[in-house]
Amino acid sequence: MNRAARPLCFAIQPIFVTRPLGTPTPENPWGDHQRTRETMPEFTLQDIIHIMRENVGADESVDFDTDISNTTYEELGYDSLAVMEIMSCVEQNFGMRIDEEVTTDLKTPGETVTYVNKILTAVV
Amino acid sequence: MNAVITGLGVLAPNGLDTEEYWKATLEGRSGLVSVEGVAPSPTPVSVAGRLPDYSPDDSTPARLRIQTDRWTQMGLLCTEEALGDADLDLSGLDPYECGVITASASGGNLFVQKEIQNLYAKGPATVTAYQSIAWFYAATTGQISIRHGLKGPCGVLVSEQAGGLDVLGEARRALRKGSKMIVSGGLEAPIGPYALTCQSSDPRLSAVSDPHRAYLPFDRAASGHIPGEGGAILIIEDADSARERAAPRVYGEIAGGAATFDPRPDSGRPPGLARAVRVALEAADLSPDMVDVVFADGAGTVEGDRQEAEALVEVFGPRGVPITCPKTMVGRLYAGGASLDAATALLALRDQVVPPTIGVTDPIHDGLDLVLGAPREARLRTALILARGIGGFNSAVVLRREG
């Protein structure tokens, strides 16, 4: 099954759905898209804020109008399960995979944005 | 050590808080409605007890809404009401002396339905991580515990429809071990396509489509039961600490209780219900003549009603005690049903009135003093509540008004 061809998380426009399907290989069992620089999307802080607010739910005490890029998920009221859900939505919306071991190292939205863009720009 | 109930929170098909429910119940107002089309064919259910105009979304914060089932949202709302009713300032209590013990018979049905649909239609990656905590029987207990910072004994009892009473015994046990306050009770949200499909193999479900005739326990026209959603949360406190903090009211105390299990159907031995009643009375140090009212389980099936009628006549004698089944107005709320009955019994003790059983006109047994059609004023000090669960669970609890 091709991961990026699946319908995506509710709110963000699909980016890769119209692209040709990838072929599953032992190294890439999900058949994720082989990306090129020309089709590379950019992942922004606004994207992850959107996911946090719409898909995962925001703690009432958090003010998203302030710069939260260096505020930890924990300080924003997200436990480990919520962070997992945030990463899962990023994966679905941006047709990519985030290594589970990396997930625990990404402590803030800013770190996540940097990491995701690094993956998205890596030309395969 | 006495365990007393100091707060109630109710959500029922005929009332969205304690007083609204109690008023409707005394007036004999039913919350049973047609739910034609909700259950996929061939599930026979076409009538159910549904919470009217209730949307948990209004009362649950966004974060919690996304990660919880309707059933948990109902539990959170009932807990708010119950804690408010008990006027309990949790900051004044040691969080490790406060716990949550609830009952559930089916977990987070509606959440499961959504995620199963995602799984089959869109693939495993689209199933939310919250599925892992939202469906689970303990989810409501866990969310109540987290929301209110109650870090003492927490658990969930899954003993089908008897669970709503079993939790009261479990709460009392926790108080005996040193806790000061337990949030207890049960809720269920079993009305939806998936939830009703899960119930569809149960031959006890009523296929009657008239809401006034679909669930008639102890009536010759009994045709099975209909499901309903809702339940109740009860705040159980150590009597001494309730007195010390000057709790605004004590509805009553848990005087005694017992749980038994039926023998195998072909064993020839009698069902365990009468034994549960006797052991509960013994535990409360009461003789049968000291019980003022019985809140019956009211299976609504020929066999279940007969067994309960025989047990009641065996223990109390023919027409030995007023019997009522207010469930006739809301349906069977599974794990929520018996907790709601316990709350109803406490309101009956408070107001000295037995709420009616509605719809029943042709009782199966002359030995039952059923309170039919209209409430009956009476001097009430002690109430017995019975609950039976599919598979052989029996539970009996005696509640006693103080003073």
Tell me the ipTM for this assembly: 0.74
* Out of A79-88, B9-18, B181-190, least confident range: A79-88
- Beta-carbon separation of B62 and A1 below 8 A: no
pLDDT tens digits for B197-226?
A: 999 888 999 999 999 999 999 999 999 999
Rounded to an integer, what distance in angstroms lies between the CA atom of residue A36 and that of residue B75?
50
Q: In chain B, positions 76-135, which contact chain A (CB-CB < 8 Å)?
A: 121-123, 125-126, 128-130, 132-133
Give yes or no for a contact between A60 and B61, defined as CB atoms under 8 angstroms apart.
yes
CA dihedral B242, B170, B153, B12 (to 10 degrees): -80
pLDDT at A61 over 70: yes
* Ranges A40-54, B34-48, B345-359, most confident: B345-359
CA dihedral B313, B317, B322, B325 (to 10 degrees): -10
Residue whose tokens read 């003073």: B403
Q: How confident is the model at residue A27 (pLDDT cuts 50, 70, 90)?
A: low
pLDDT tens digits for B98-113?
A: 999 999 999 999 999 9
- A79 in B contact zone (CB under 8 Å): no
Q: What is the pTM of this model?
A: 0.89
SS percent in chain A: helix, strand, coil, step 5: 40, 0, 60
Instruction: Considering only residues A5 and A109, tell me which one the structure prediction assigns the higher pLDDT.
Output: A109
Rounded to an integer, what distance in angstroms lies between the CA atom of residue B83 and that of residue B183?
9
How many other β-carbons are positioned within 10 Å of the β-carbon of residue A98?
Answer: 18
How many other β-carbons are positioned within 10 Å of the β-carbon of residue B17?
Answer: 16
pLDDT for res A39: 56
Q: How confident is the model at residue A6 (pLDDT cuts 50, 70, 90)?
A: very low
> What residues are paired with B236 via a beta bridge?
B5, B182
Q: Report the percent of chain B where pLDDT is more than 70.
A: 100
pLDDT for res B56: 74
Q: Which residue, among B59, B67, B143, would best test binding to A if mutated, counting the most A CBs under 10 Å from its CB?
A: B67
Rounded to an integer, what distance in angstroms lies between the CA atom of residue B3 and that of residue B276?
20
Q: How confident is the model at residue B67 (pLDDT cuts 50, 70, 90)?
A: very high
Contacts of A56 in chain B (CB under 8 A): 63, 66
Residue whose tokens read 């309960």: B308
- A88 in B contact zone (CB under 8 Å): yes
pLDDT tens digits for B360-372?
A: 999 999 999 999 9
Contacts of B80 (CB under 8 A, 6+ apart): B9, B59
Contacts of A7 in chain B (CB under 8 A): 121-122, 126
- Beta-carbon separation of B63 and A88 below 8 A: no
Write the single-letter amino acid at A38. Answer: E
Of the partner residues B63, B125, B130, the one whose CB lies closest to the CB of residue A92: B125
Q: How confident is the model at residue A96 (pLDDT cuts 50, 70, 90)?
A: confident
